[in-house]
Amino acid sequence: MPGIVIVGAQWGDEGKGKITDLLAEHADAVARFQGGNNAGHTIVRGGEEWKLHLIPSGILYPGKCCVIGNGVVIDPKVLIEELNALRARRIDVSGLRISANAHLIMPYHLLLDSAGEAKLGSLQIGTTRRGIGPCYADKAARLGIRVQDLLDEKILKKKIVAAMEPKRLSLRPFEKDPALDLHTMTEEYLTYGHRLEQHIADTAKLMWELLDDGKKVIFEGAQGAMLDIDHGTYPFVTSSNPLAGAACVGTGVGPKAIDEIWGISKAYTTRVGAGPFPSELHDEMGEMIRARGGEFGTTTGRPRRTGWLDLVALRYAARLNTMTSLVITKLDVLSGLDRIQVCTSYRGVEGPVFEDFPYHQTVLHHAEAELTELRGWEEDLGECRAISDLPDAAREYLEFIAEHAGAPVALIGVGPGREQVLWTDAGLQTLVAPSGVPLGDPAGG
Ligand code: GDP
Ligand code: IMO
Ligand code: MG
């Protein structure tokens, strides 16, 4: 710290919410920098489960400064529902700050997301249908509506008209949809503005003040490296950059603010939605991982596709992020297997072997995983609280991952609970406060 970025190192759902919540205890602020409510971040504390979509995973600490940065796309209806649900569970949300420059998801974005998918037919991306792509498209086209526009009726109305004008043709099938009526939409969004006003702020300035003051800030990524619009498995990606580099632009701070970059990966691989997945399992083993890992989407409930850990993709994610440490979650899910396989390279159609992630879409779509077999272990890991509690084979597996990915392992997840996390020496060494006190709680408190 002061600036630590938490990013997904796979195709999302790696456990970013859990790790952010864990580290947030000792941080002064947590900031989201991209994505929107396509994200679903789970935190389990004392047997209670929390699912967050837009609000940073630091919100469970009373009054903690939680920033929704300018790079996030916000569906204000969803945000208000999320705030209300937290308040109903007696969570103090007074620390939430929303960037006035963040873009808003509008009713037409939701309709266009679904219509776009329907049009693609069998070539669907499998989006979360939350309007993410169309909203980022409007941002790039400079037709976006921003949080600050919610506070001025005249400007809001004018911008809605301007944004809808070039979409007339594609919105024609929804002509009669009351959600698209200009008056209704303006009134609805003005109401959202009133409800959110107390949280709207110049968050880039706030971030600068925090960091300048030596405060510790966690940048919480959504999605994962392989869903990155530039470097992921395009076009089967999301519409933002879930990489560490985006933490800066998405909150308005310079790269020097970042000290640590932690990539989160499961001990195996999952993916929701369509697109290439070389190490995917289509057999009973895949089913078993899905069932044991509870691999169903936090946002859409869709079953996640499952496969062995893909070290080609993980090494790529480590490089794209200049990852300083790795966090391996869900190691417990692999207990009880005789042998564990890992993907260490890809085989192309005509035989070439790829150690590095191929940039060419056609190559990637035909790539097959070359697997290396490692020893499995029988023991249940849920009660392990130190690295020394792990079976030898589990430790060997972690060492193999670190060596192939090119980053040391800092934390290991052995269950969904916040106490089910093991700190390695590397992890403890990186996150040490000036006082010499570890910033995590290695005792598992
Ligand atoms: P995120 O989007 O990266 O925050 O991850 P999700 O919340 O979508 O999905 C991760 C799921 O795995 C959640 O249900 C977590 O409660 C669960 N989880 C996180 N870490 C572990 C772990 O180490 N072991 C097990 N068994 N479950 C975990
Ligand atoms: P968290 O933050 C997993 C996937 C969708 C789809 C693609 C594009 O919880 O890890 P979009 O709605 O973004 O246009 O969909 O991206 N996707 C995710 N997959 N976890 C997520 O978020 C995701 N957010 C989007 O399934 O394949
Ligand atoms: Mg998720």
The tokens describing 262, both together, are 């932690």
Q: Say which residue, 238 or 430, is predicted with more confidence.
A: 238
443 has a pLDDT exceeding 50: no
- The pLDDT, as a whole number, for residue 442 is 46
Distance CA 88, CA 62 (A): 14
Of 170, 198, 226, the position where a domain reaches its end is 198
Tally of structural domains, the chain: 2
Whether residue 362 sits in one domain with residue 307: yes
Whether residue 373 sits in one domain with residue 290: yes
Distance CA 338, CA 345 (A): 22
Whether residue 145 sits in one domain with residue 234: no
Whether residue 375 sits in one domain with residue 256: yes
444 has a pLDDT exceeding 80: no
The tokens describing 429, both together, are 């060494």
Instruction: Provide the mean pLDDT of the chain.
Output: 94
Q: Residue 162 maps to which CATH number? A: 1.10.300.10
Distance CA 426, CA 410 (A): 5
Q: 13 catalytic, yes or no?
A: yes
- The pLDDT, as a whole number, for residue 299 is 77
Whether residue 348 sits in one domain with residue 229: yes
Stretch 143-164: mean pLDDT, rounded?
98
In a domain, 443, yes or no: no
**Residues flanking ion ligand 3, Cβ below 5 Å:** 13, 40, 298
Distance 153 CA to ligand 3 centre (A): 35
pLDDT band at 11 (very low <50, low <70, confident <90, very high): very high
Stretch 207-219: mean pLDDT, rounded?
96
pLDDT band at 126 (very low <50, low <70, confident <90, very high): very high
- The pLDDT, as a whole number, for residue 343 is 98
Whether residue 341 sits in one domain with residue 274: yes
Of 147, 171, 198, the position where a domain reaches its end is 198
Whether residue 208 sits in one domain with residue 158: no
337 has a pLDDT exceeding 90: yes
- 41 SS3 class: strand
Distance CA 437, CA 424 (A): 15
Residue 227 backbone phi and psi in degrees, to 5: -100, 10
Whether residue 356 sits in one domain with residue 267: yes
In a domain, 139, yes or no: yes
- The pLDDT, as a whole number, for residue 432 is 58
In a domain, 439, yes or no: no
Distance CA 318, CA 265 (A): 10
- The pLDDT, as a whole number, for residue 304 is 95
- Whether residue 329 has its Cβ less than 6 Å from ligand 1: yes
pLDDT band at 439 (very low <50, low <70, confident <90, very high): low
- The pLDDT, as a whole number, for residue 445 is 35
- The pLDDT, as a whole number, for residue 323 is 98
Whether residue 324 sits in one domain with residue 179: no
Q: Whose CA is nearest to atom 13 of ligand 2?
A: 238
In a domain, 438, yes or no: no
Question: What is 374-426 written as a DSSP string?
Answer: EE---S--TT--SGGGS-HHHHHHHHHHHHHHTS-EEEEESSSBTT-EEE-HH
Give the whole-number percent of the chain exceeding pLDDT 70.
97
- The pLDDT, as a whole number, for residue 20 is 98
CB within 8 Å of 430: residues ≥ 6 apart: 260, 324, 325, 410
In a domain, 223, yes or no: yes
- Whether residue 17 has its Cβ less than 6 Å from ligand 1: yes
Q: Give residue-wise pLDDT tens across range 45-90.
A: 989 999 999 999 999 999 999 999 999 999 999 999 999 999 999 9
437 has a pLDDT exceeding 50: no
| Lowest-confidence pick of 297-301, 338-342, 376-380 | 297-301
Whether residue 219 sits in one domain with residue 188: no
In a domain, 305, yes or no: yes
207 has a pLDDT exceeding 80: yes
368 has a pLDDT exceeding 50: yes
- Whether residue 126 has its Cβ less than 6 Å from ligand 2: yes
Distance CA 151, CA 161 (A): 17
Q: Give residue-wise pLDDT tens across range 225-260.
A: 999 999 999 999 999 999 999 999 999 999 999 999
Q: 41 catalytic, yes or no?
A: yes
| Lowest-confidence pick of 3-12, 47-56, 97-106, 433-442 | 433-442
435 has a pLDDT exceeding 50: no
434 has a pLDDT exceeding 60: no
Distance CA 263, CA 10 (A): 9
What pTM, to 2 d.p., does this model score?
0.96
Q: Give residue-wise pLDDT tens across range 87-123.
A: 999 999 999 999 999 999 999 999 999 999 999 998 9
In a domain, 392, yes or no: yes
Of 182, 198, 214, the position where a domain reaches its end is 198
Among 21, 41, 231, 404, the active-site one is 41
129 has a pLDDT exceeding 90: yes
Stretch 32-44: mean pLDDT, rounded?
97
In a domain, 348, yes or no: yes
Whether residue 218 sits in one domain with residue 148: no
Q: Whose CA is nearest to atom 27 of ligand 2?
A: 273
Distance 338 CA to ligand 2 centre (A): 32
In angstroms, the first-to-last Cα distance of the chain is 20
Whether residue 212 sits in one domain with residue 172: no
Q: Residue 356 maps to which CATH number? A: 3.90.170.10
Whole domain around residue 165: which residue ranges? Answer: 103-198
